[in-house]
Amino acid sequence: MISIIIIAILSSLIVTFVVARKYEGEINARRVEDLTKEVKSFEESLYFQIEANSKLLSQKKSSEVRLGFIAEKLAPFLDNFPVDPGEVQFLGNPIDYIGFLKDHIALIEIKSGKSKLSKKQRNIRNLVEKKAIKFYLVDIDGDPPIMEEVTAESTRLD
């Protein structure tokens, strides 16, 4: 859209220049003033069209975001959702859902249209691929509270 605007302005300037050069000896100050007014009027009209298109684009993007949020909430009920809806918990950010299954934990991100994973979501995916996941047990009754990383060798797995 910006390229169309630039082309329109350049075309207007070129036409003004060509007309001025063609009739260089014959053009009077009144004609130059008229052309200047026409160009100014065209620029103002173009400005208002740009503003209107900008508002429309903003409204469209806002609608797409709202529809995306609705789609995220309804996704567990689609036929091809990878986990039973009763086994998932909505997080929303940075990952949409976490599913607690018998044999694994599933992290699920919902995307639609041309949306892509954010930098943080890509990092989470990469950490999962590397199996760089830890579980911590935090006992807040201790003085001070005790935080322990739970591993296969941990003695406190209850």
Amino acid letter, residue 112: S
Cα(118)–Cα(87) distance, integer angstroms: 25
120 touches 146 (CB < 8 A): no
Quickly tell me which residue has 């009920």 as its tokens.
77
Each domain of the chain, given as residue ranges in start order, spans 2-74, 117-158
Q: Token pair of 151, please?
A: 């591993």
Mind listing the pLDDT tens digit of every residue in the chain (158 residues)?
Answer: 666 677 777 677 776 776 666 666 555 667 777 778 888 888 888 888 888 888 888 888 888 878 888 888 889 998 889 889 999 999 988 999 999 999 999 999 998 878 899 999 999 999 999 988 888 888 888 778 777 777 666 655 45
